[in-house]
Chains A and B, each alone.
Chain A
Amino acid sequence: MVSFLFVDPETYRKYKDQVLALSHAVQVDFQEHLPSDQDHPALSDREIGERLGLDERVVREIRCVAERDAYGIEEFEEAARFKDRACRDWARSGMSAVMKPYVDKAKGKS
């Protein structure tokens, strides 16, 4: 007996990539003046269910797990290092902290 609704691992593995691609997880051309991207249309759970022939609640479960599953826990560890570096570099160097590599590249420097 299932005690509460959660998706079985097999169904999850089968659909997670499709569900994630159709959801808001990756947002492509979201600006109001741009036409919607067909590979990443940012559909609701109901709309995804209609496309994939799945119940809306099953889609929601797959999506919720996939949102958490998209990146490993090490990404969260790395995030703190990224922000620490970016924030301190900005305080020290301002805009060149982010633009310098691209400016150098445009000028032909390595």
Chain B
Amino acid sequence: MSAKETVDFAQAKTELAAEAARSGALLSGVAAAAAFDAAPEGRRPVDVLPRAEAVFVIGGAAPRAGDWVSPNYQHMEVTTTSDRIQTIALKIARVIEDRFGYYAVCVPPGVDRGQQPFVSIMLAAELAGCGSRSLAGPVLHPEYGFMYFAAVITTLPLPSDLPLDQPACPAPECTSMYAAEGTTPCLKVCPLGDGGCLAGKLADGRVVERRYDPVRCATRVQNYWVPGFQHVLKETLAEPDPERQKMMLFSSLFTRTLWSMTYANVSQGQCAECLRVCPVGRERRQKH
């Protein structure tokens, strides 16, 4: 199709949502490209695609209920499925171009220079009403909890959704726990004041303060990956003894790091402890 004036934009949105669901997405939503004021210049949809009108967001491919109950923490490090959501996004982009005749481009899942995302997919998910930011960090959906997101920027002016009225975090259980103990499950499992990454405050059932140590988090979430590679290399080059250098380069840490870089699309998220204890979406994680 090339005659843009014939497109029913509301119908197009319905068709894209159906296509995403058929391909395995749990949900989808649309953010207006103009709504990304909170993003710095250079990191907005129009910086990726001139004349961008909308950002179509899809969510899904979360770890399964079985993944969460495994006592072997390494299991999820090597079997997560985030790459599947990007595959669906690529398909949606193609549908937008082929069926509706508008430009579409996927937000790259990796990072641009300075380790910054091209466009924040988390912000897109929030703006599209797919969830809200949590104390733990990730965007959570009220019903499903944690999931992976992908986003397609397009010149197709799809009707946009609104951010959630009621944030998914904190869950009522967390509010009660905070009132009783001054902490929540996620803050307790990884406390900033005790070698962890998270701190925060609740008031009137809302998050009113959040502190997060992304550098420490990277040592856990990207335990074996590019940062591990860089650290081992730095230590090795500083080591004068060739025999010890070899022990470092052949070590289990460095070996595992290389495997992780190789299979980066299935092993980037290597810590899920703050989300393991999160009650949002827990019902979806209860099976027989």
Which of A's residues lie within 8 Å of B, judged by CB? Answer: 3-9, 12, 60-61, 64-65, 67-69
Chain B residues with Cβ below 8 Å from A67 are 250
Q: How large is the interface on B (under 10, 10 to 19, 20 to 34, 35 or more residues)?
A: 10 to 19
Interface class of chain B by DSSP: helix
B251 touches A8 (CB 8 A): no
Q: Are B232 and A64 in contact (CB under 8 A)?
A: no
Given contact pairs A5-B252, A61-B251, A65-B251, enumerate 10 new A-B contacts (beta carbons under 8 Å): A3-B231, A4-B235, A6-B244, A6-B247, A6-B253, A7-B247, A9-B241, A64-B250, A64-B252, A64-B255
Answer whether residue B165 sits at the interface, using C-beta atoms and an 8 A cutoff. no
Q: Are B247 and A4 in contact, CB atoms less than 8 angstroms apart?
A: no
What are some 5 contacts across the A-B interface (CB < 8 A)? A6-B247, A61-B247, A65-B247, A65-B250, A69-B246
Which residues from chain B contact A4 at a C-beta distance below 8 Å?
231-232, 235, 248, 251, 253
The reply to whether B253 and A5 form a contact with Cβ atoms under 8 Å apart is yes
Q: Is the CB of A68 within 8 A of B250?
A: yes
Contacts of B251 in A (CB 8 A): 4-7, 61, 64-65
Contacts of A5 on B, CB cut-off 8 Å?
Answer: 251-253
B243 at the interface (CB under 8 A from A): yes
Pick from A4, A6, A7, A8 the residue with the most CB of B within 10 Å. A6
> Chain B's nearest CB lies how many Å from the CB of A92?
34
Can you list, as one digit per residue, whether each of B218-238 has a CB less than 8 Å from chain A (1) or not (0)? Answer: 000000000000011001000
Q: What's the least CB distance linking A15 to chain B, in Å?
A: 13
**CB within 8 Å of A: which of B227-278?**
231-232, 235, 241, 243-244, 246-248, 250-253, 255
